[in-house]
């Protein structure tokens, strides 16, 4: 049984704006084929947070491309934002932007392996207002890149 708040898959141009979601599962779950998705002003919790989930579970799944998550509040969630995939399966989630001006507590970065293909430069991990617990593989290095002095625009 699935108790996700909002479940999005194979959709283009969806906006989830200014809403409160209280479920003990994913507040928003994003499946394959989702493109140009904006999640803005969502209050989430309790639950798992916002998840890009189970990519490459089935054959012929499409990549997730162009997800912007900003101005969201997570309360009593097991995760903030996560990309959840299957072990030893190559997953494609591209152009994922998470931005927030929040103080985060009890943040854990575990087993991250992000590969980059394209001409826009290497993958970096940037963190502010957080001191995460780091475990397992970290590629790129957790919170390694400096935060730009001018905020990155997230449409």
List, for residues 42-89, the tens digit of each pLDDT value. Answer: 999 898 889 987 666 677 788 888 899 888 888 888 888 888 776 655
Instruction: Determine whether 32 is an active site residue.
Output: no
pLDDT of 13 over the 80 cut: yes
Tokens of residue 114, six digits? 């992000």
pLDDT at 7: 93
Region of poorest pLDDT, from 22-31, 39-48, 74-83, 91-100: 91-100
Among residues 41, 48, 124, which one has the least CA distance to residue 30? 48
Q: Which two tokens stand for residue 143?
A: 């919170």
Report pLDDT for 143.
Answer: 81
For the chain, the structural domain boundaries read: 6-139
- Cis amide leading into 140 (omega within 30): yes
Contacts of 93-96 spanning 24+ positions with Cβ under 8 A: 93/52, 93/55, 93/63, 93/64, 93/65, 93/67, 94/63, 94/64, 94/65, 94/66, 95/65, 95/66, 95/67, 96/52, 96/64, 96/67, 96/69
- Which residue in 7, 12, 26, 48 is the catalytic one? 48
Whether 25 is a known active-site residue: answer yes
Q: For residue 84, give Cα distances in angstroms to 34, 50, 51, 153.
A: 15, 10, 7, 25
pLDDT confidence band for 154 (50 / 70 / 90): very low
Closest CA to 155 of 8, 15, 42, 38: 38
Work out the pLDDT band at 32, boundaries 50, 70, 90.
Answer: confident
Q: Rounding to the nearest 10 degrees, give the CA dihedral for residues 82, 79, 108, 128.
A: 80
Query: What is the torsion angle, in degrees rounded to the nearest 10, for the CA atoms of residue 148, residue 75, residue 78 and residue 103?
Result: 30
Q: How much of the chain, in percent, has pLDDT values that exceed 90?
A: 24
Which one is catalytic: 25, 26, 111, 116? 25
């Amino acid at each position: 049984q699935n108790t996700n708040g909002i479940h999005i898959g194979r959709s283009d141009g969806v906006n989830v704006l200014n809403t409160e979601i209280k479920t003990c599962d994913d507040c928003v779950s994003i499946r394959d084929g989702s493109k140009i998705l904006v999640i803005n002003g969502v209050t989430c919790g309790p639950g798992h947070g916002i998840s890009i989930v189970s990519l490459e579970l089935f054959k012929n799944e499409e990549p997730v491309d162009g997800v912007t998550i900003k101005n969201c509040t997570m309360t009593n969630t097991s995760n903030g934002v996560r990309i959840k995939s299957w072990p030893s399966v190559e997953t494609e989630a591209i152009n994922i932007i998470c931005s927030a001006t929040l103080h985060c507590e009890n943040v854990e970065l575990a087993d991250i392996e992000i590969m980059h293909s394209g001409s826009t430069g290497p993958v970096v991990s940037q963190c502010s207002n957080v001191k995460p617990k780091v475990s397992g593989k970290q590629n790129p290095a957790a919170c390694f890149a400096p935060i730009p002095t001018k905020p990155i625009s997230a449409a």
